[in-house]
């Protein structure tokens, strides 16, 4: 049997590459005769640059401003005239000094993303794809625009360049479904801070609309990465699915055509996963080819009926397997490998694994 191992990153715990390696080791340990193909994935968030580079090469590093101003080394890719920039490399949650707080939610900025775009332009890129996700800022892309020289200068610098905002988040910039209200809490913002961030972005949205001549704040994806999506759209970016960008670069269609089973995963498999994120996007593509998909996630917050309705044969939780979130994170690669081995041992080649209920570590 040919098994395609194609996880996203597990938040800040495991990169997509690390997760794929752990899954592959677990599966091969239980079923050594199976052919295991590693194909780490990304929807534009953390791991985007590494996943693209694994196929295209061309990894580069630039020193840019981190989200709180301290310089950081950020990786990006230049291949065949196209630059692939991972916003989380410059504004990721992992670049904070510790857990996000009210203060960091107010102070974090996206200047480093603008510096990465500038580096790509200076290197001669004629296409710039910005992967959005995993950010700690909610500045609406104001810092990015400032680093590029302001709105008018940014548009001038990008004239003739194909700009792409790669995201699978559909949220607008403002309102109850926008960047501040939906994602602010996970970035340390309390209700009063969310109000401040919302007011800032509302004023910024007016400025973006004045310059670009259209209400970009209302467009799907404008709220991605703390509103970086809105700024990119104002600069003329086309919006694309991050998962589909990666799929095209990595030859996913060909890999699925040869697979008998897909094993994927992410940090938390919940209702957000159903809104076009990588795991369900991959499962849908596999289902169209008659290939079953199994999800191994750090945590699973969906019931079996919802999971199967999304085209997924079964979903298993590393935290439940390990006995707690703390135990799962204490040895994330080891626990993921052990869970994968257990699932592989129960697989019988039908529509789903023999054990479709909870699995616990012995």
Compute the average pLDDT of residues 89-113. 96
pLDDT digits (tens, 9 = 90+) for 296-343: 999 999 988 998 888 899 999 999 999 999 999 999 999 999 999 999
Same domain, 182 and 206: yes
Is 34 within the bounds of a domain? yes
Return the CATH number at 144: 3.90.1510.10
The maximal CA–CA distance of the chain, rounded, in angstroms, is: 61
Is 184 within the bounds of a domain? yes
Rounded mean pLDDT of the chain? 93
Same domain, 186 and 110: yes
Q: Which residues pair with 165 in a beta bridge?
A: 130, 239
Rounded percentage of the chain residues whose pLDDT exceeds 90 = 84
Same domain, 62 and 174: yes
pLDDT at 146 over 80: yes
pLDDT at 349 over 80: no
Residue 101 near residue 62 (C-beta atoms within 8 A): no
User: How many residues belong to the chain?
Assistant: 362
Distance, in Å, from the CA atom of 275 to the CA atom of 268, rounded to the nearest integer, reads 13
Among positive and negative, which fits the CA dihedral 63, 221, 198, 148?
Answer: positive
Residue 168 near residue 243 (C-beta atoms within 8 A): yes
Q: Which pLDDT score, from 0 to 100, does residue 336 have?
A: 97
Q: What is the pTM of this model?
A: 0.87
Give the HSE-up count for residue 335: Cα atoms under 13 Å, Cβ half-sphere. 27
- 3-state DSSP percent of the chain in helix, strand and coil, to 5: 45, 15, 35
pLDDT at 28 over 80: yes
Domain tally, the chain: 2
Residues 6 or more apart whose CB falls under 8 angstroms from that of 82 comprise 125, 126, 127, 128, 129
Which of 39-43, 186-190, 353-357: highest mean pLDDT? Answer: 186-190
Compute the average pLDDT of residues 175-182. 97
Return the CATH number at 21: 3.40.50.10350
Q: By C-alpha distance, which of 137, 334, 129, 359 is closest to 248?
A: 129
Same domain, 52 and 195: yes
Is 208 within the bounds of a domain? yes
Cα–chain center distance at 172: 17
- For 192, the token pair is 């009063």
More confident residue, 168 or 229: 229
Same domain, 177 and 285: no
113-127, 138-152, 309-323: range with lowest mean pLDDT: 309-323
Q: Which pLDDT score, from 0 to 100, does residue 351 have?
A: 40
Same domain, 125 and 214: yes
Same domain, 122 and 224: yes
More confident residue, 303 or 149: 149
208 φ, ψ (degrees, to nearest 5): -60, -45
Question: In a 3-state reduction of DSSP, which class is residue 37?
Answer: strand
Domain that holds residue 166: 48-240
The DSSP bridge pattern shows strands 261-264 and 293-297 to be parallel
Q: By C-alpha distance, which of 11, 95, 34, 97 is closest to 277?
A: 11
7-11, 236-240, 326-330, 351-355: range with lowest mean pLDDT: 351-355
Q: Which pLDDT score, from 0 to 100, does residue 278 have?
A: 85
pLDDT at 358 over 60: no
pLDDT at 353 over 60: no
Give the HSE-up count for residue 113: Cα atoms under 13 Å, Cβ half-sphere. 36
pLDDT at 40 over 50: yes
pLDDT digits (tens, 9 = 90+) for 214-240: 999 999 999 999 999 999 999 999 999
pLDDT digits (tens, 9 = 90+) for 61-83: 999 999 999 999 999 999 999 99
Distance, in Å, from the CA atom of 281 to the CA atom of 43, rounded to the nearest integer, reads 9
């Amino acid at each position: 049997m040919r098994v395609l191992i194609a996880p996203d990153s597990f938040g800040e715990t495991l990169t997509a590459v690390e997760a794929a390696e752990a899954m592959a080791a677990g599966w091969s340990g239980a079923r050594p005769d199976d052919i295991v193909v590693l194909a780490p994935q990304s929807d534009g968030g953390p791991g985007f640059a590494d996943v693209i580079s694994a196929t295209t090469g061309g990894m580069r590093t630039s020193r840019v401003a981190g989200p709180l101003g301290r310089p950081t080394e950020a990786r990006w890719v230049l291949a065949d005239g196209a630059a692939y920039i991972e916003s989380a490399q410059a504004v990721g949650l992992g670049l904070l000094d510790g857990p996000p707080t009210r203060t960091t939610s107010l102070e974090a900025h996206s200047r480093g993303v603008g510096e990465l775009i500038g580096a790509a332009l200076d290197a001669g890129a004629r296409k710039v794809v910005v992967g959005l996700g995993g950010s700690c800022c909610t500045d609406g892309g104001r810092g990015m625009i400032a680093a590029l020289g302001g709105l008018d200068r940014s548009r001038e610098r990008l004239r003739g360049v194909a700009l792409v905002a790669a995201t699978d988040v559909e949220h607008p910039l403002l309102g109850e479904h926008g960047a501040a209200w939906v994602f602010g809490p996970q970035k340390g913002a309390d209700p009063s801070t969310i109000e401040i961030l919302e007011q800032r972005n509302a004023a910024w949205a007016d400025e973006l609309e004045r310059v670009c001549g259209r209400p970009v704040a209302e467009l799907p994806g404008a709220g991605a990465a703390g509103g970086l999506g809105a700024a990119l759209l104002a600069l003329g970016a086309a919006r694309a699915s991050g998962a589909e960008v990666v799929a095209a670069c990595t030859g996913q269609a060909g890999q699925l055509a040869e697979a008998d089973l897909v094993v994927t995963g992410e940090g938390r498999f919940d209702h957000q996963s159903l809104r076009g994120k990588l795991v369900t996007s991959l499962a849908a593509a596999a289902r169209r080819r008659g290939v079953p998909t199994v999800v191994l996630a750090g945590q699973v917050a969906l019931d079996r009926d919802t999971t199967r309705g999304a085209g997924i044969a079964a979903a298993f939780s590393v935290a439940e397997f390990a006995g707690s979130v703390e135990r799962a994170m204490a040895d994330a690669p080891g626990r993921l490998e052990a869970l994968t081995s257990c699932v592989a041992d129960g697989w019988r080649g039908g529509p789903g694994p023999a054990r479709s209920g909870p699995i616990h570590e012995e």
